[in-house]
Chain A
Amino acid sequence: MNSIKITVAIALMVINTGLLAFDLETFRSLDPDELRAAEASMDEYIEAGTARLLRAPRGAAERYVAQRQQRLARQFNRRAAAATSSQGARVQPIFWPAARASRASLGADGEIVIRCQPARSMLDRSPSDSRTRRLPARPVR
């Protein structure tokens, strides 16, 4: 293999998760209220944990949310790349399977709780009926 081919091969091997970044242009074209509504009703059209579609998304906001969640799911579900030799060592990509995520939610007493969890929990969701009994956010007294 000549040096140019080697360079190209290495370039193709580079793991650049930036390529998987979200669609900013589409995001900016969305109506914020419709987006929030699409996120609030996600359970109706996206299966928690897998991001599998339960029905066809309706409207641009639902389509955007579905694509975002499915992109996330693909990152988690991608078959782990095998370890390869690199500069005498064995290396293996791992970011999404092992990544951590700090997630904010309302605690039972109405105070924001920021808890660090596996990033995969971003595909999970709380039961939708809990939204009906949310407390106003406030610091505990």
Chain B
Amino acid sequence: MSSLRALSLVALLLLPVAVEAQMFELALTDPIEFGFNDPAPVDALPNNPARTLGGQRQAVLRRALDIWSSRLDGNTSIRIDASFDDLGCEESTTLGVGGTRALVRDFSGTPQPNVNYPIAIASAISGQTFEDFDADLEVRFNFRIDSGTCSEGLDGFWYGLDPKTPAPFGTASFLELVLHEIAHGLGFQSLTERETREFFGSPPVPDALSLLTFDLQREASWNELTASERVLSSTSGSNLVWIGERTNLRASERLLPPGRIVLNPGLGTEEIRAAWVQGFAPFLPLEGMMRRIVLAQGPGPSPPAGDPWQGALACAPLDNGAALAGQFALVRRGACLFAEKWQNVFDAGAAGLILVDDQPEGNSTIARSFSLGLDRNLPIPIWVVTDTTGSRLLQLGDQDQVRLGYATEQPLRGTTEGFINLQASTENTGSNVSHFATSLSPRSLMNPQLAGFAYAGDLDQVPELLYDLGWFDARDKQAQYSGNWFNPDRAGEGCQLTMDGGQDVSVLTCYLYRDGEQLWLIGNGVDLGDRYEFNEMIITGGTGYGNDFDPDEVIIEAWGEIVMRPSDCNNARFEFRPQVDGLPDFTSEMTKIVGASCNQRASEQIDRSRSGNYFDPTRAGEGIQLALEADGLSWVITFYTYLDGEQVWMIGSGQRSGNTIDFGDVSITRGGDYGPALDPDQVELIPFGRIVLEFNGCNDVELIITSALPQFSSDTRDLTRINARNCG
């Protein structure tokens, strides 16, 4: 077992940090042996190893709180009452209920006087806990769903927490449900009477949501309309928009224009037709993808001989993999699940699936509502075209190409005049106003219809709507992401993130391999709220170790970019996008090697001020990165240097005593490869020796290296921070 893997495994066993002042204070109000305390034995699920039903339910709820608390901040704890209940088993069965416990107006620090705010927002802003209520928001779930006999077609909730293993068919994602209901309680909830759209209160006053809910036709916000005008507005379709600045900014970068397929692009004979993107992120980039169309062919159910779609249903492994490899597979709808077709096309090596609808033109809502039922996430796009377009695609020649992409000249889906639409349908009017419109693509967590399938925990632009309402964002607790990250399936490689300067300059190093040798990358990032973009990662080389190091020999080259997308403070997807040497892009789902509860406010974050990057100014190009892990006790050092012109990195863990941190187990590795080629079993551990850090003030440190390897000399260096802190 490599030391990194051992380090990771040991680290994962550390107990979560005890947090006294949380972002969310959770009260589980179920009786013993019921609901969240149900002792019924269950099998472990992906990323949810609890062995009782109640334990698994609690794990999902706490993950949901971790996700929300990673994106929000407040001046006091927000109290949540969570329980299970008998919500009935009927033709329309209730899975869960959520909302705010109270309205508050004219509280200390209120953004707008004489406006009703959900109590959670009032508490977060004012720092007050309103003692008249024992909770700020409440969520209740139907325990009878898990009986499997409550609702036809629904076997129970899915409590798995691995984004790579979405909810199987016949189950509903409990994580999606909990996140959705909590979002209502946090403020995405119209506080108007259901039928009359009168405001609550005596006298009635507008609610916070109404201030930014805008009727384009009447050119007025809801607080400026009469109740009867609001009733009309609430079913006015794309006329109803949200004008909050932050939500629309986020939506403008997340939402996609309508899809389209261009036949023979760039040949002067090009033909443009509509197409509908399906599935979940990542989607095709805006510039789209150009490939040839190949009709899928294989055994299994099929239209009869003579039908142009004979053999093209892709309900079984395909026969023409060689022709499909790297091209778009054309597949007819019908006879088996969409997910099965997607899997067979993926297994055949195709670059994407174009699914041809078998419904008459204008009679298929499934493609247009972005709602294919999918129980898995595969890395190739899945698009739907109409029957007519499918027939046209069949006529293309062997060498004709198509471009799948977007009508970038058209408005983003789910927007009008640049503003994101709220749901304002004439059907199912009960869902209106308190959700984003179903027309958004990609769909939102706050779609009126829960996805039910393949939901991986993305909050899309919902946090921004809450910021528009008055919630604080998580800018003041960026350091929650600081630490070492690794993928349990790819042990031996990882990334280390620290916040330098005033805890706001993100520096990422990633320690990887290529052809059996180590490589490391370093770069500064930009915090974009839902992700960090490290657009200028660099790779170095060209010099030696110790006395052979010459800063003038250091070669610095641009490597490419890395995007880190946290779902909470312990889990993030890292997207590696190299721009050198033909290296492939790859994505890795990483977790922190030392996890902790994310349920903390900024004021409760541990002191990570000694974390950061240090170097010897006479030896630019070499240095250390030091991270305090989330338990507040474990320190991890990564020493980035060179040997015979090549990059070398070594890593170790230690604990601090006064101004000293002793890393007694520093190791070097080798044997791995880059990206998809990494085999963690080939990573070899080589004990390096020991490193001791002696702090001299807040910016300076003495590095004492004791090497056990002959090619590395023992040495002492005086290091200083790359981004100096204000020590005052």
Instruction: For residue A52, give the distance in angstroms from its CB to the closest CB of chain B.
Output: 17
Interface flag for B14 (CB, 8 Å): no
Q: A93 to B89, Cβ gap below 8 A?
A: no
Q: B91 to A105, Cβ gap below 8 A?
A: yes
Write out the residue numbers on chain B whose beta carbons fall within 8 Å of the beta carbon of A65: 88
Q: Which of B112-137 contact A (CB under 8 A)?
A: 116, 119, 122, 126, 128, 130-134
Q: A92 to B99, Cβ gap below 8 A?
A: no
Which of these, A82, A88, A91, A94, contacts B132 with CB under 8 Å? A91
Q: A83 to B202, Cβ gap below 8 A?
A: yes
Contact with B along A88-130 (1 / 0, CB 8 A): 1111111101111111111001111111111111101110001
Interface flag for B449 (CB, 8 Å): yes
Q: B431 to A116, Cβ gap below 8 A?
A: yes
Interface flag for B90 (CB, 8 Å): yes
Q: B428 to A117, Cβ gap below 8 A?
A: yes
Q: B202 to A91, Cβ gap below 8 A?
A: no
Interface flag for A13 (CB, 8 Å): yes
Instruction: For residue B105, give the distance in angstroms from its CB to the closest CB of chain A.
Output: 5
Interface flag for B94 (CB, 8 Å): yes
Interface flag for B435 (CB, 8 Å): yes
Q: A97 to B107, Cβ gap below 8 A?
A: no
A131 to B29, CA, bound (A): 35
- Number of chain A interface residues as a range: 35 or more
Which of these, A13, A22, A32, A103, contacts B95 with CB under 8 Å? A103
Q: A10 to B335, Cβ gap below 8 A?
A: no
User: Which of B145-153, B496-504, B682-690 forms part of the interface with chain A?
Assistant: B145-153
Interface flag for A18 (CB, 8 Å): yes
Which of these, B99, B170, B334, contacts A95 with CB under 8 Å? B99
Q: A122 to B130, Cβ gap below 8 A?
A: no
Interface flag for B201 (CB, 8 Å): yes
Q: Which of B184-235 contact A (CB under 8 A)?
A: 184, 189-191, 193-194, 200-202
Q: A42 to B134, Cβ gap below 8 A?
A: no
Which of these, A27, A88, A117, contacts B431 with CB under 8 Å? A117
Given A119-B97, A126-B91, CB of A18 within 8 Å of CB of B431: no
Q: B97 to A21, Cβ gap below 8 A?
A: no
Q: A112 to B153, Cβ gap below 8 A?
A: yes
A101 to B180, CA, bound (A): 10
Interface flag for A54 (CB, 8 Å): no
Beta-carbon nearest neighbor of A90 in chain B: B105
Q: Which of B163-190 contact A (CB under 8 A)?
A: 169-170, 172, 177, 180-181, 184, 189-190
Which of these, B132, B172, B450, contacts A10 with CB under 8 Å? B132
Which DSSP category, helix, strand, loop or mixed, fits chain B's interface?
A: loop
Instruction: For residue B538, give the distance in angstroms from its CB to the closest CB of chain A.
Output: 47
Q: A94 to B102, Cβ gap below 8 A?
A: yes
Q: B449 to A115, Cβ gap below 8 A?
A: yes
Which of these, B154, B335, B434, contacts A100 with CB under 8 Å? B434
A115 to B337, CA, bound (A): 22
Q: B189 to A89, Cβ gap below 8 A?
A: no
Given A118-B194, A137-B152, CB of A24 within 8 Å of CB of B31: yes
Q: Residue among A68, A92, A102, A124 with the most chain B CB within 10 A?
A: A102
Which of these, A92, A106, A114, contacts B449 with CB under 8 Å? A114
Given A14-B134, A100-B181, CB of A36 within 8 Å of CB of B149: yes
Q: A89 to B91, Cβ gap below 8 A?
A: no
Q: A125 to B133, Cβ gap below 8 A?
A: no
A124 to B122, CA, bound (A): 33
Q: B97 to A116, Cβ gap below 8 A?
A: no
A112 to B151, CA, bound (A): 9
Write out the residue numbers on chain A whose beta carbons fall within 8 Å of the beta carbon of B568: none
Q: A131 to B98, Cβ gap below 8 A?
A: no
Q: Residue among B102, B122, B138, B169 with the most chain A CB within 10 A?
A: B102
Given A94-B100, A98-B200, A125-B90, CB of A141 within 8 Å of CB of B449: no
Q: Residue among A84, A92, A138 with the most chain B CB within 10 A?
A: A92
Q: B149 to A83, Cβ gap below 8 A?
A: no
Interface flag for A74 (CB, 8 Å): no
Interface flag for A16 (CB, 8 Å): yes
Write out the residue numbers on chain A whose beta carbons fall within 8 Å of the beta carbon of B26: none
Which of these, B96, B103, B151, B373, contacts A101 with CB under 8 Å? B96
Interface flag for B579 (CB, 8 Å): no
Interface flag for B338 (CB, 8 Å): yes
Write out the residue numbers on chain B whose beta carbons fall within 8 Å of the beta carbon of A110: 153
Instruction: For residue A112, give the distance in angstroms from its CB to the closest CB of chain B.
Output: 5
A139 to B451, CA, bound (A): 13
Instruction: For residue A24, give the distance in angstroms from its CB to the closest CB of chain B.
Output: 6
Q: Residue among A32, A42, A101, A117 with the most chain B CB within 10 A?
A: A101
Which of these, A15, A39, A117, contacts B101 with CB under 8 Å? A15
Q: A141 to B337, Cβ gap below 8 A?
A: yes
Write out the residue numbers on chain A whose beta carbons fall within 8 Å of the beta carbon of B133: 14-15, 91, 93
Interface flag for A63 (CB, 8 Å): no
Interface flag for A17 (CB, 8 Å): yes
Interface flag for A56 (CB, 8 Å): no
Instruction: For residue B180, give the distance in angstroms from its CB to the closest CB of chain A.
Output: 7
A21 to B180, CA, bound (A): 22
Given A80-B200, A104-B93, CB of A89 within 8 Å of CB of B122: yes
Interface flag for A87 (CB, 8 Å): yes
- State the A residues within 8 Å of B (CB): 10, 13-18, 21-22, 24, 27, 32, 36, 39, 42, 65, 68-69, 80, 82-84, 86-95, 97-106, 109-122, 124-126, 130-131, 134, 137-141
Ordered nearest first, which 4 A-B pairs have the shortest CB separation? A137-B153, A99-B99, A89-B107, A117-B430
For this complex, 10 residue pairs linking A to B, each with C-beta atoms less than 8 Å apart, are: A87-B107, A88-B106, A98-B189, A100-B97, A101-B96, A105-B92, A125-B91, A139-B169, A139-B337, A140-B372
Q: A86-B131, A87-B131, A91-B130 are in contact. List 14 more A-B contacts (CB 8 A).
A: A89-B108, A91-B103, A93-B101, A94-B99, A97-B193, A99-B97, A100-B98, A102-B450, A112-B452, A114-B177, A114-B450, A118-B194, A139-B169, A139-B338
